[in-house]
Each structure stands twice: as C-alpha cells, then as structure tokens.
C-alpha cells in the first residue's frame, strides 16, 4: 500500500514540474514583449531596461525558471505585467472563489441528477423510458455550453419584458458564497447551464457502466440464487458501476476552477476565466502561468482522490 502511494506521488510531482516547465518555456519564447506592451507610448530604452530588471527578465532562462519554482514553493506567483506590479495572488484571490463556487454547484447538479437518471435508464433498458432519456441527454450533451448560455439569456430577457416586475438578471454573479434571494437570481441560471452538458454526460456514462455490470456472470449467478433485484442492484452492481464514474468525477473536480470559461464569459461573471483571457491578450505571462499551475495541481489532486476512491471501491487496486 505504501509503495502504491509513493509511486503515485512521485509520478504526480513530475507531472507538475513538467507542466510548469512547458508553461514557462512557452512564455519565454513567445514573440510578444510584455514590457513593451506595458510601456506603450511611454516606451524609452531606459524605462524598458529598468522594468526588465525589476521583473527579472534580463536573467538567463534557467535562472528565471529556477526563481519561478522557488517562488512557487512559497505560493508566490510573482507580479502582473498588465496590472503594473500587482501581485498575481491578489488577482487570483478575486476570481478563484467565484469560479470555484460556480464549478462546485454545477458538479453537484451533474452528480445528483445525472447518475440516478443514468442508472434508472439502465434498469429500464430498451424501453421507451430509456430511449427518451438518452435522446434528450444526447441532444443536451451535443449542444455547446455557450449556445445554451446564450439561449438562456435570450429567454430571460424575453421573460423580463413580458412579465411585469420580474427583472431576472442575465449577467454578473452577486456576492460569492452568499445565498440571499437576489444572489440566487444571479447564480441559478449559470449553474444550471454549466451543469447541463456534464449532467447529460454523467447520465450516459452511468447507464453504460450499469448495463455492463448487469450483464456480468456474477450478477446472473446472484439472480439464480434467488437474491432480490434491489439487493443485486445496490449491493453488487452499483458499487462496481461506480469505478468508471470515479475517474470522470475526479477529472471534473480538477476543472472546478478553470472549466467554466465560456459560461463566465457569456454571463460576464468576474471569475478566473475573464482574468485568464485578458491576460493572454495582454501577454501577462505570470497570470497565465499561475492559472495553468492551478489547473495542473487540481488535476494532480483529482487523480489522487481518484486513486483513493479506487482503493476503497475495489481493494484489489491497492496491490497493483
């Protein structure tokens, strides 16, 4: 068991180092010069050289990368180029809680609605209930999230115009982690839209996993022994059907903060997506590197959670 976890941890550490190196090198060799962009019309050679020295950009690439790793271990992401020396951590501190709240509630919607619906469809396989559910889920899954978001905004605007006193907001987010009625009005539609495509995916995956398990020999043996259908489903089939779902849930957990770019952009939510997009446009590499590292660490933690859940669901994995 200890050897199992040591192998996982070593591999994941190398993943993080690899991601940081690739992200750093891409910024280092980018043709855009963020210092020139920052100075704009106030460009002078003296000011240019002073700013390059202040940001440490006049050092060799390997020294810059070493400083980047040292600061990263201290949770210091450096200073923004476009925000004139503002710490990147301060910029992320505004957007990350909002994106995390959006992603977390969307994941809850996906799991609470998607998995039970998929399992129910598997139990009603090849009936009109199963067919209807899967057709609807396929349509919802196929439509891009930004299309659903735009359609939802159009419907809200139409409702606001035709229902006196409704005034349901179509943009912004409200107060993070606050759930007064006015805050819920801001948050409800983006959460449902973000959860829609994932909800459809979970439903289809849960159906496929459950059908595969129900066709296994040990399930037929349990039925032959006279076990009740309820006991077979909940004690034997459901637990084994969870294994593929664990992988997807872990990956979804990794993208809680950075996975809602289109939704945040369409609904003008001041999360990390808008910060990242504007940073790419402004060649603000410290912010881009920070968001990439956050995503990489989240993926690593998601994989650790996945391994832990695997070992709980199927103890045979511990020995692999």
CATH assignment at residue 263: 1.10.3720.10
pLDDT exceeds 80 at position 126: yes
pLDDT exceeds 60 at position 317: no
Of 8, 1, 5, 26, the C-alpha closest to 293 is 26
Q: Which segment of 109-113, 139-143, 171-175, 293-297 scores lowest on mean pLDDT?
A: 293-297
State the pLDDT at residue 274. 75
Q: How many domains does the chain have?
A: 1
| 202 in a structural domain | yes
Q: Which segment of 17-21, 51-55, 242-246 scores lowest on mean pLDDT?
A: 242-246
Rounded CA separation 12/7 (Å): 9
| 188 in a structural domain | yes
Rounded CA separation 200/146 (Å): 16
pLDDT exceeds 70 at position 62: yes
Count of alpha carbons within 13 angstroms of residue 49, beta-carbon side: 2
| 19 in a structural domain | no
Domain that holds residue 143: 88-319
pLDDT exceeds 70 at position 318: no
Question: What is the token pair recorded at 93?
Answer: 């501190």
Question: What is the token pair recorded at 245?
Answer: 């779902």
Mean pLDDT, rounded, for 256-284: 80
CA 103 to chain centroid, in Å, comes to 6
- Helix (H/G/I), strand (E/B), else coil: 143: coil
Rounded CA separation 220/224 (Å): 6
Rounded CA separation 195/202 (Å): 10
How many Cβ atoms from other residues are within 10 Å of residue 158's Cβ?
10
pLDDT exceeds 70 at position 197: yes
pLDDT band at 186 (very low <50, low <70, confident <90, very high): very high
Mean pLDDT, rounded, for 44-60: 85
State the pLDDT at residue 224. 82
pLDDT exceeds 70 at position 1: no
State the pLDDT at residue 228. 76
State the pLDDT at residue 48. 84
pLDDT band at 316 (very low <50, low <70, confident <90, very high): low
| 113 in a structural domain | yes
Mean pLDDT, rounded, for 127-155: 88
| 274 in a structural domain | yes
| 2 in a structural domain | no
Q: Which segment of 50-54, 273-277, 308-312 scores lowest on mean pLDDT?
A: 308-312
Give the chain's length. 320
| 52 in a structural domain | no
| 193 in a structural domain | yes
Rounded CA separation 106/196 (Å): 8
Rounded to two decimals, what is the model's pTM? 0.80
């Amino acid at each position: 068991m200890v050897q199992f976890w040591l192998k996982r941890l070593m591999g994941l550490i190398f993943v993080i180092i690899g991601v940081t190196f690739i992200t750093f090198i891409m910024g280092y060799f980018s043709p855009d010069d963020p210092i020139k962009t920052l100075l704009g019309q106030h460009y002078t050679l003296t000011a240019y050289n002073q700013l390059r020295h202040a940001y440490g950009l006049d050092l060799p690439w390997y020294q810059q990368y070493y400083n980047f790793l040292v600061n990263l271990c201290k949770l210091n992401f450096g200073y923004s180029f476009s925000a004139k020396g503002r710490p990147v951590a301060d910029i992320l501190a505004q957007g990350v809680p909002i994106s995390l709240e959006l992603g977390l509630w969307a994941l809850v919607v996906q799991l609470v609605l998607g998995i039970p619906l998929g399992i129910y469809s598997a139990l009603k396989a090849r009936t009109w209930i199963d067919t209807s559910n899967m057709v609807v889920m396929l349509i919802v899954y196929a439509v891009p999230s930004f299309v659903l978001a735009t359609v939802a905004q159009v419907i809200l605007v139409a409702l606001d115009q035709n229902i006196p006193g409704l005034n349901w907001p179509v943009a912004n987010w409200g107060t993070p982690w606050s759930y007064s009625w006015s805050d819920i009005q801001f948050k409800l539609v983006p959460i449902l839209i973000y959860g829609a495509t994932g909800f459809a995916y979970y439903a289809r995956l849960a159906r496929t996993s459950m059908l595969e398990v129900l066709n296994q020999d040990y399930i037929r043996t349990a039925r032959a022994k006279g076990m009740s259908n309820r006991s077979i489903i909940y004690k034997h089939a459901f637990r084994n059907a969870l294994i593929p779902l664990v992988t997807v849930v872990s990956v979804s957990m990794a993208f809680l903060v950075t996975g809602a770019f289109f939704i945040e952009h369409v609904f003008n939510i001041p999360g990390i997506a808008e910060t990242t997009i504007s940073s790419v446009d402004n060649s603000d590499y410290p912010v881009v590197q920070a968001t990439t590292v956050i995503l990489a660490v989240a993926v690593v933690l998601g994989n650790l959670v996945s391994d832990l859940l695997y070992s709980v669901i199927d103890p045979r994995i511990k020995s692999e």
